[in-house]
Amino acid sequence: MANSYYSSYEHIVFSTKRRQNWLSLKIAPELHRYLGGAVKKQNCIPLIVGGMPNHIHMLVRKKSDLTSADLIKEIKRSSSEWLSARELLTANFIGRMAMEPFRSVIWDVDTIVQYITNQERHHASIPWEVEFKEIAH
């Protein structure tokens, strides 16, 4: 019998409350690293974590026995603790899934990685508020 292989890629977006720009250049890289670590603790692989001052994108290769809801719940829980410990939760960051997780064939992964990598250029022509309304509804 042939072997089967299953990979699930999840594109997850977290937005700040009212999409306020408070993820500064000082805190964002540290928060991105922390979020990647939170993903690894769930035995998943963070392919890329990045974003803008008002939202964060994550592309994750998820293990097959973990639900998307459980992964997101744990990321939100641990990041809330991390932000609270640094007294940053008062800045109104709320984790909110703005895009439905999707299953991706392997050649789509590179497109999503480039999209996340090029957020600044992308949002120079398409404001996040406009894109968020389109993908969240």
pTM of the model: 0.78
Model pLDDT for residues 91-118, shown as the tens digit of each residue:
455 444 444 444 455 568 888 898 889 8
Domain 8-136 belongs in CATH node 3.40.50.300: no
Q: What is d(CA 136, CA 128) in angstroms, rounded to the nearest whole number?
A: 11
Question: What is the per-residue pLDDT across 23-81, written as a single tens digit (0 to 9) for each?
Answer: 777 788 999 999 999 999 999 999 999 988 888 889 999 888 888 889 988 988 888 88
Domain ranges of the chain: 8-136
CA dihedral 72, 97, 12, 67 (to 10 degrees): 40
Residue with tokens 């999840």: 10
CA-CA distance, 132 to 127, in Å (whole number)? 9
**Rounded distance between C-alpha atoms, residue 19 and residue 71, angstroms:** 23
